[in-house]
Amino acid sequence: MKLTSLSKVLLVSAFLLSAAHPLNAAGILELAEEADLILLGETVPMEATKAGTVKLGIRPEIVLKGDVSPGSLVEMVFLEWKPKLISGFGPMPPPKPKTYAFWFLKRLESGEYSAIPRTGEEGLSLYHKSSGSAVPKSWTPPSGVSAERLLLESTVEWYRSNYLKLAPGDRRRPLGAKWMTHSLQYSHLYGARDEALKIVDQLMESTSAHERNIGTVIGIRMSHDPAMARLEEILESLRPNDQVMADICYALEYHYNPNGPQGPMRIENLIRTNQTARIPRLDTVLSRAVGKLPPDSGRLPLAALLLDSPEEEAVRQAASRFYGYALLARQDGTVSASGTTGRDRPFRNEQTKAHNGHNKEMPAEALAEFWRGWWADNQAEVEARVAARP
């Protein structure tokens, strides 16, 4: 298997990894990128040859990467775990016998294999990434698909198998939910976004309402327009305070990028729908999504809708969008922090400067009233300046 090389995206890596468990990779394809050997099989115990180590064997059913053959014995060695250290930042425990999984391993000089170190150093390490990604034994791997697709599908099957074990009404998050979500969401870092979106679409078309919802959440995290379209359809039917709505709000606020062709329209539709649905916090979340759009006149109509929100933070965010535009808009209709002040800033004056949404001494109602009036008085001029731009 040949995986696309990961571009070193330093700007996002810290956030992505903090969103995942600090002991693990951002997703299954990160492990696949770094591994010397990828195989599917069940671990069996072996006698350790060195004190302080744990040894396991695998006879792989499938080999996706590496020079071993299916059915041959692969020996894995790990350092013993020291559980007294803080689990969030300390060592990873070695795998257990009889664990069926895809395994992601580094070759040692001894010819044995071990986990991928987190530090980038070679050799045995207590501080390593996950060695394996569990798979239900009942799963039949699909044939004729790419290795990336196969690995991504395996995270869905593991999650699905754990969800089905929950009793009716059990609202706990199934084991494997975060791993599946991150594996699909960050697939674009490894050139597999299209493969991941096919899986997301399948989830949204599932006969299971639970799978449709989680597919929608992951799709929103990936800024996948069909997921936003489905959210528009189901928004009024969602329960305001359940976990699905909380996950949707989190995805919109922290992951969704509205700068695609349909993004502003999707945000507008959700704002308008929520004028009657009144889902708590959603206006605030949408106001922050508006803040991800370029700071020009295009986001002002969306901000104007949010001035009528019953949520104070949404109103303040909307006021800040107007404030930023009035402060930085130039005579030629562009928005820029550079250039001269005075006559080059036709909307900057003492009144607009005083009505900053971040000014907590100014009541939200006063901010909303001022910017409603400002937009009514200046909308035509703003649009004319933009239309006149070369």
How many C-beta atoms surround the C-beta of residue 41 within 10 A? 22
Distance of CA 6 to the CA centre of its chain: 17
Is pLDDT above 90 for 93? no
| R_g of the chain computed on alpha carbons | 26
Question: What is residue 386's predicted lDDT score, i.e. its pLDDT?
Answer: 79
Structure tokens at 46: 């072996």
What local confidence, expressed as pLDDT, does residue 10 receive? Answer: 26
- Whether the model pTM is above 0.85: yes
CA distance 3 to 32: 8
Q: Which amino acid is at 292?
A: K
**DSSP string spanning 318-376?**
HHHHHHHHHHHB-TTS-B-S-S--GGG-TT-SHHHHH--TT-TTS-HHHHHHHHHHHHH
* Closest alpha carbon to 94 in 64, 108, 115: 115
Residues in the chain: 390
Q: Which two tokens stand for residue 12?
A: 């996002």
Q: Going from the N-terminus, what domains does the chain have, and what CATH number goes with each?
A: 35-134 (2.40.50), 294-390 (no CATH)
CA triple 187-189-192, angle to 5 deg: 40
Bridge partners, residue 287, by sequence? none
CA distance 89 to 100: 26
Select from 288, 276, 336 the least CA-distant residue to 314: 288
Q: Coil, strand or helix: which one is 128?
A: strand
Tokens standing for residue 75: 């020996």
Name every residue whose Cβ is closer than 8 Å to that of residue 318 and which is 6 or more positions away in sequence: 287, 290, 303, 304, 306, 307, 309, 357, 368, 371
pLDDT at 3: 47
* DSSP state for residue 79 in the 8-state scheme: E
Which strand (E) or helix (H) includes residue 64? strand 62-65
Average pLDDT taken over every residue of the chain = 88
Per-residue model confidence (pLDDT) at position 89: 56
- Return the pLDDT at 20: 33
Instruction: pLDDT band for 9, please (50, 70, 90 cuts).
Output: very low
What are the Cα distances from residue 139, in Å, to 59, 103, 155?
18, 16, 11
Q: In the structure, what pLDDT confidence band is assigned to residue 23 with cuts at 50, 70 and 90? A: very low
Q: Which residue has the tokens 């987190």?
A: 118
Q: Are 135 and 64 in contact (CB under 8 A)?
A: no
SS3 of residue 37 by DSSP: strand
Termini Cα distance of the chain: 50
For the ranges 15-24, 69-78, 295-304, 370-379, the lowest mean pLDDT is seen at: 15-24
pLDDT computed for residue 13 by the predictor: 32
Indicate if the pLDDT at residue 340 is higher than 70.
no
DSSP run (H or E) holding 41: strand 37-46
